Structure 1
């Protein structure tokens, strides 16, 4: 079973955080963090998608569906962010998954003299409905202008997906502390070694 520190929350959207539960996608065999139904339940709880106190466990069939949904989300998001259409199979799966949970009615509030949508976030009573919330977030992202800001981490050995909300839209790393700093240190060390060799010769 994965531990809570196994989860990474740098995606900027719950659907991207869910896609990131399959790690090291650059490898021939990526690292699966959703190894069993308990891992799926742990992730859904940490993502605050389950109603507090939900104890009904996920089944092996739900885990299989969750992994299938995750890969459809990943393929569709990367396709649309690259200006391509997702496959009809991924669209069908996303729509079917999203429809499993009814959406709350859209509400409005006045904040700082502006009209804004009220927070209508909901929690799900079981894992299937929680996955529907992930699918709904993916559908929202696919239809929003933010889809063009989806990035893949620039570190050679990462490949996590994230939403670039930086002011200049030039974020390269999933996380500066995890990948950005490590990459910069590694490049600096390589330059230092190279310059040391040049001086010796």
Structure 2
């Protein structure tokens, strides 16, 4: 892919940005941005989930990624609506999560006291990278932030995002992408109606 908006990062959560790799969900045939295994590798590297060194990625990894993406989308939208995700979607998310690399536990000294911290690190393969995406989805599904997940209000978008606006009234995935376009389109329609 070579377009400027290849992978948009308006979701506010890694798992929603991953869900947003399928564009134009409002169309009968949405636009897929993960068309080949290399696209998956580039997306995972773009969000620092995959180690930089080269790795061979089978076609099955891409199919697993798409299955995970759609399970996350269905689970989040179902939970936002007050329901429970299906057992099948839960199983897909949990299976992917199990492949995530363990965080690196480190010893720290803070204010003269021993403590610990953990830092996530990049996965060695796509299964591990997808596992980290699945873990982010699980964290979102269990957090109060879930109530702030929205779908872009533009009739030509449908990207998912977390509304972190102070008044909790964000309508578009991005003001520069859909907000301004929608406002211009509505203004033009009102101008034509007056004429």
Report the TM-score when normalising by structure 1: 0.88
1:94 matched to 2:86: no
In 2: Cα distance, 1:101 partner to 1:190 partner: 49
On the 8 A contact 1:155/1:183 being kept in 2, the answer is yes
Alignment of 1:181-192 (within 5 A): 181-192=180-191
1:199 match: none
Query: How many pairs were matched up?
Result: 189
On the 8 A contact 1:41/1:57 being kept in 2, the answer is no
Structure 1 ranges of 4+ moved more than 3 A: 105-111
On the 8 A contact 2:104/2:121 being kept in 1, the answer is no
In 2: Cα distance, 1:190 partner to 1:28 partner: 25
1:49 matched to 2:54: no
Shift of 1:81: 1.1
Residues 129-156 of structure 1, C-alpha deviations (whole Å, 9 max, x = no match) = 1000000000000000001110000000
RMSD across aligned C-alpha pairs, in angstroms? 2.0
1:160 match: 159
2:70 match: 71
1:76–1:108 distance in 2 versus 1, CA, 3 Å: farther
Residues 160-179 of structure 1, C-alpha deviations (whole Å, 9 max, x = no match) = 00011111110000010010
In 2: Cα distance, 1:189 partner to 1:145 partner: 39
Structure 1 residue runs of 5 or longer lacking an equivalent are: 112-116, 197-201
Structure 2 residue runs of 5 or longer lacking an equivalent are: 111-115
1:118–1:179 distance in 2 versus 1, CA, 3 Å: farther
2:113 match: none
On the 8 A contact 2:8/2:20 being kept in 1, the answer is yes
1:27 match: 27
